Amino acid sequence: MANLSQQVVEQMDIIVDVGGLQFENLYPVLLQTFVVIVLGYLSGRWGIIGQVESKGLNTFVGNFALPCIIFTALAELDFSRVNWMFLIAILISKAAVFVAVVIFTLLLTKPMNFSKAGLFAIFCTQSNDFALGYPIVAAVYGNSHPEYAKYLYVMAPISLVLLNPLGFLCMEVGERLRESRRLAQKIIPIQQADASTGSDNQLSRKVSTSSSGSLSSSNHSRSHANRCKIFLTVWKNMLFTPIVAMTVMGIAVNFLCDHQIPAILKNLCGVLSSAFSATALFALGLRMVGKTQGSGGAKFVVPGILIGVKCLVMPIVTREVTLHLDPGMNGNASLDLSNLGFLLGTFPSAPGILFYAIQYNVAVDMIATAMVAGTFFSLPISVVSSKMISLSSANPADYISLLDSFLIRIAIIGLVCTVRFLHEIHLTIVLTMQIFSCLCK
């Protein structure tokens, strides 16, 4: 028994460094991520933190902490070391998935629902890169490619500035179409009522018909005149959001100050940035409260498809596009970047998408279910992807160490699950005995 425990300790202490990928840092990061998310969920579930406090945390994360951390990263980033061809590959991959989701959603919804098309496209392309993605990338590539984690900040404008406005335009168009349909439904009963009054009310019927026609034509001309206004409004709202504004300011400070932030500004942004990680994960747990009710059966079909596109299709498309463009200096560098693109694609969707759904009142329950389920579905895929990335460059002599450490971890997880299963069986037996005793009395 002592030898077995000593062997377990030795296997747990093994540090596997395969191709520069340090996995002893990955598991603590995943553990602390889940713990903070669970704490946020339990705080909301037990009523410790209410909706008002949760909204305040989300406002702090989205308007203060995240913009400051993006500003600091972009202001200090050495753009001469950025692989722009890799960023082009990410742009092409996200744009391809975005367009495909829009087209398929329009074809499969009757009548065509532009609001869902735009929202689903944003869901499948905007990842939770900062709260969940950055710790994983930093833990996996911290020693071999520390610059990979910085790419997340450079990639943020791809979704926030280029793709998301197109989704918002689709949602605005869908909202205008819904308003026109509601207006048409109000006009049709009036015309039918006028037609049923007979010849005695012919004059009133003509007046009503002419007024309805003039109202319809005026609405058509007004909608035609507002198209440019809608386009400009969407882009203006996007450009003046704190995240996009701080992105532009960070790039400007980088070129003006030679990627050296003034000390006072750096300290101020550092205070706000340091509060981002835990607060964002805690707020994510709060968002999950009450979002999974009634999500079983047929209601989970569309969320399941969205999760599959985000966590399975998106990584494959990103990897293949990156390999095709060959952004590295050599074959190994291109392979590393393609693996990074695959890993980035496995990250879950950003929780801010639920706010978009609530704002436009489009598929709120569906997006909430997909967001919660996708978060728990994607993290195991990210871990497995990291392991597979290591095996692609592993030395055959390290296979035994990898398998031994993997088996030890699987055994520990299996032991915990077994204890949990036996506990549930015990509770079931006790409850059954109590019910049987009550019936006998």
User: 3-state secondary structure string, 194-262?
Assistant: HHCCCHHHHHHHHHHHHHHHHHHHHHHHHHHHHHHHHHHHHHHHHHCCHHHHHHHHHHHHHHHCCCCCC
Pairing of strands 17-18, 21-22: antiparallel
The Cα–Cα gap between 294 and 180 comes to 31
The Cα–Cα gap between 245 and 234 comes to 15
Q: What pLDDT does residue 211 have? A: 47
Q: What pLDDT does residue 309 have? A: 93
- CB proximity list for 325: less than 8 A, separation 6 or greater: 85, 86, 88, 89, 92
| Encoded tokens for 145 | 């490619």
The Cα–Cα gap between 130 and 406 comes to 28
- What does the DSSP 8-state code read for residue 149? T
Domain boundaries defined on the chain: 1-19+398-441, 26-393
| pLDDT tens for the 441 residues of the chain, in order | 444 344 433 433 433 344 444 555 666 777 777 888 888 888 888 888 888 888 888 888 888 888 888 888 888 887 777 888 999 999 999 999 999 999 999 998 888 888 899 999 999 998 888 878 888 888 778 777 888 888 888 888 788 778 888 888 888 888 877 777 777 776 665 555 555 555 445 544 444 444 445 544 555 555 555 667 766 776 676 667 787 788 888 888 888 888 788 888 888 888 888 888 788 888 878 877 766 555 555 577 888 899 999 999 999 999 999 999 988 877 778 888 888 899 899 998 887 787 788 778 888 888 888 888 888 888 788 877 877 776 665 666 666 776 777 678 778 878 887 887 888 888 888 877 877 777 666
Residue in the structure block whose two tokens are 């579930």: 45
**How far apart, in Å, are the Cα atoms of 200 and each of 189, 190, 193, 208?**
19, 17, 13, 14
Q: What sign does the dihedral 127-129-131-132 (CA atoms) show?
A: positive
Report which secondary-structure segment, H or E, holds 421: helix 399-440
On whether the CB atoms of residues 360 and 119 are closer than 8 A, the answer is yes
Q: What pLDDT does residue 90 have? A: 93
The Cα–Cα gap between 19 and 398 comes to 11
Helix residue ranges, H only, 46-80: 51-60, 66-76
Helix residue ranges, H only, 113-201: 114-125, 134-141, 151-157, 164-195
On whether the CB atoms of residues 317 and 323 are closer than 8 A, the answer is no
Q: What pLDDT does residue 98 have? A: 95
Q: What pLDDT does residue 22 have? A: 52
As beta bridge partners, residue 127 has 349
As beta bridge partners, residue 18 has 21
On whether the CB atoms of residues 161 and 238 are closer than 8 A, the answer is yes
Phi-psi region of 200 (alpha: psi -120 to 50; beta: other; left: phi over 0): alpha
CATH class of 26-393: mainly alpha
The Cα–Cα gap between 279 and 90 comes to 28
By C-alpha distance, which of 377, 322, 316 is closest to 97?
Answer: 316
The Cα–Cα gap between 272 and 397 comes to 46
Q: Which residues of 275-293 are buried (b: 16+ CB within 10 A; e: fewer)?
A: ebbebbbbbbbbbbbebee
By C-alpha distance, which of 212, 276, 359, 328 is closest to 60?
Answer: 276
Q: What pLDDT does residue 102 have? A: 93
Residue in the structure block whose two tokens are 């019927």: 205
Q: What pLDDT does residue 222 have? A: 57
Phi, psi dihedrals of residue 141, rounded to the nearest 5°? -110, 15
